[in-house]
């Protein structure tokens, strides 16, 4: 058996705080979701002014990363490059989900929704970076 690190609620709080800080610094109202390695929600917040639908989309972006081990942008790129069959996959093909890797395993993911796709991803990456020293 393998020993795999696991995110804690404190980790989720730190990830969300870093992501929220990035969003606020840019004047963006977003929803931020943090999932554990099984794709289960640890954290969900919808900032004031974020679109209501973003609270549904953000966790799905995170789950997409858990299921695939890739940023959700990989699936958006597939669709944009004409691989429309990707739309039938059980993923959300929208940029803004970033996996959290520790010890070579996917231990969680951050999903962000509410602004432009690249901006969502920027906020998600800021959240992942909050654990950078612990994910070795």
* 25-39 pLDDT, tens digit each: 999 999 999 999 999
96 Rama class: left (phi>0) / alpha (psi -120 to 50) / beta? left
Q: What pLDDT, on a 0 to 100 scale, did the predictor assign at position 57?
A: 97
Concatenate the DSSP letters of all residues of 7-68 into one string: --HHHHHHHHHHHHHHHHHTT---EEEEEETTS-EEEEEE-TT--TTHHHHHHHHHHHHHHH
Is residue 3, in this structure, part of any structural domain at all? no
Distance CA 92, CA 117 (A): 12
Is residue 113, in this structure, part of any structural domain at all? yes
- The number of distinct structural domains making up the chain is 1
pLDDT digits over 59-112, tens only? 999 999 999 999 999 999 999 999 999 888 888 999 999 999 998 899 999 999
Given pLDDT bands bounded at 50, 70 and 90, which one contains residue 114?
Answer: very high
* Per-residue pLDDT at 12 exceeds 90: yes
Q: What pLDDT, on a 0 to 100 scale, did the predictor assign at position 133?
A: 73
Q: What pLDDT, on a 0 to 100 scale, did the predictor assign at position 136?
A: 57
* Per-residue pLDDT at 135 exceeds 70: no
Is residue 46, in this structure, part of any structural domain at all? yes
* Per-residue pLDDT at 50 exceeds 90: yes
Is residue 20, in this structure, part of any structural domain at all? yes
Residue 31: beta bridge partners?
Answer: 46, 113
Is residue 39, in this structure, part of any structural domain at all? yes
Is residue 2, in this structure, part of any structural domain at all? no
Containing structural domain, residue 74 = 9-131
Is residue 61, in this structure, part of any structural domain at all? yes
CATH number at residue 55: 3.30.450.150
* Per-residue pLDDT at 54 exceeds 60: yes
Is residue 86, in this structure, part of any structural domain at all? yes
């Amino acid at each position: 058996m393998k020993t795999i690190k696991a995110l804690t609620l404190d980790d989720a709080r730190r990830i969300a705080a870093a992501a929220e800080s990035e969003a606020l610094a840019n004047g963006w109202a977003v929803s931020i979701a943090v999932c554990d390695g099984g794709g289960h929600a640890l954290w969900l917040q919808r900032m004031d002014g974020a679109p209501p639908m973003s609270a549904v989309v953000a966790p799905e972006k995170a789950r997409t990363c858990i299921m695939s081990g890739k940023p959700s942008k990989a699936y958006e790129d597939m669709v944009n490059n004409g691989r429309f069959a990707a739309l039938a996959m059980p993923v959300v093909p929208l940029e803004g989900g970033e996996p959290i890797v520790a010890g070579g395993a996917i231990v969680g993911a951050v999903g962000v929704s509410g602004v432009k796709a690249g901006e969502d991803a920027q906020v998600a990456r800021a959240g992942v970076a909050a654990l950078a020293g612990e994910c070795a």
